[in-house]
Structure 1
Amino acid sequence: MTQDQMTIREMCDAFDVTPRTLRFYESKELLFPIREGQKRLFTKRDRARLKLILRGKRFGFSLEEIRQLLDLYDIGDQQETQLNRTLDAAGKHLNELEQQREALDDAIEDLRSQINWVEDRLSALKK
């Protein structure tokens, strides 16, 4: 094993994921570790891809969206297509997240109002 390769345990420790997660991403053709018998060795490319996968998941991208964007890396146009599609997808997800935040802010405000009403009602009953 070279310094450029990491074992599944090292990947799990470095990225705070489980072996099951790494095997799942491999089964979805998102990661392509080198196989030596039962052993999986992850390259720098796998580490970069995993970092992008985890970031994409955090931003609400589906695994299929992530796979499609990652697959654009190798088309030979200096990543222009990949970057353009990532920008489009990110803009859509940002809009969705902002809408979700607005809905959450409204729900929080409504819940605070209800809590205040109940507290006022309880205070009135104790008098």
Structure 2
Amino acid sequence: MQRAARAFVASHHEVDDATVYGITELADELGISPRAIRFYEDKGLLKPRRINGGRAYARRDKVRLMLIQRGKDMGLSLAEIKHVLDLYGDKGEGEVKQLEFIIGRLDDAMAMLEARRDSIALTLVEMKLIRAAFAKELKSKPRA
């Protein structure tokens, strides 16, 4: 996430980077399908330029796609991902709000995972006790 976030910030400051990607090239580079890119565009997460009727993606679009993928990996919904991207603004003016939102979401996710871990640990203890009781009972049974 840090690499994608730093690239996102850098993409707002590098005005001289004129790299343009076609949808297939961008999809191949990021390991996603062109259909997924069009889906994200339909959901308002991307706004590529149009050149001769085709989509033209800038470095900023590529980085947004990287952040979308990272957000999905973190378990964010597309609406939450859009919210995070929109918080940033055009020139980074919402970076503090964006970071606060992400930190809050990460805190929630970590608390959920820790609760799940505690539940799993308790279940493992119970299973070990049950297994030990059954193993003891099995030893007391005559073998056929």
Cα shift readout 1:27-68 (whole Å, capped 9, x = no counterpart):
000011112344111111111111111001001000000100
What is the TM-score when the length of structure 1 is the normalising length?
A: 0.74
Contact 2:48-2:55 within 8 A present in 1 as well:
yes
The match for 1:48 is: 63
CA, structure 1 residues 100+59, in 2 after alignment: closer, same or farther (shift >3 Å)? farther
Question: 1:101 deviation in Å?
Answer: 4.7
Paired AA for residue 59 in structure 1: M
Residues 1:72 and 2:78 aligned together:
no
Q: Please tell me whether residue 10 in structure 1 is matched to residue 25 in structure 2.
A: yes
Deviations 1:64-101 (A, max 9, x none): 00100100111763611111111111211222233345
TM-score with structure 2 length normalisation? Answer: 0.66
Could you say which structure has the larger radius of gyration?
Answer: 2
Measured after TM superposition, the shift of residue 24 of structure 1 is: 0.5
CA RMSD, Structure 1 to Structure 2 (Å): 3.2
Q: Secondary structure, in 3 states, of the residue corresponding to 2:81?
A: helix
Q: Which amino acid aligns with 1:47?
A: K
1:39-118 counterparts in 2 under 5 A? 39-74=54-89, 77=93, 79-103=95-119, 109=124
Where does the alignment leave 5 or more consecutive residues of structure 1 unmatched?
none
Q: How does 1:26-37 map to 2 (within 5 A)?
A: 26-37=41-52
Q: Contact 1:31 / 1:49 at 8 angstroms: preserved in 2?
A: yes
Any unmatched runs of 5+ in structure 2?
1-16, 136-140
How many aligned residue pairs are there? 124
Structure 2 Cα separation of the partners of residues 10 and 103 of structure 1: 45
Q: Take 2:57 and 2:119, find their aligned partners in 1: how far apart are those partners?
A: 41
Residues 55 and 103 of structure 1: is their aligned pair in 2 closer, same or farther, counting only changes over 3 Å?
A: farther
Q: Letter of the aligned partner of 2:108 in structure 1?
A: K
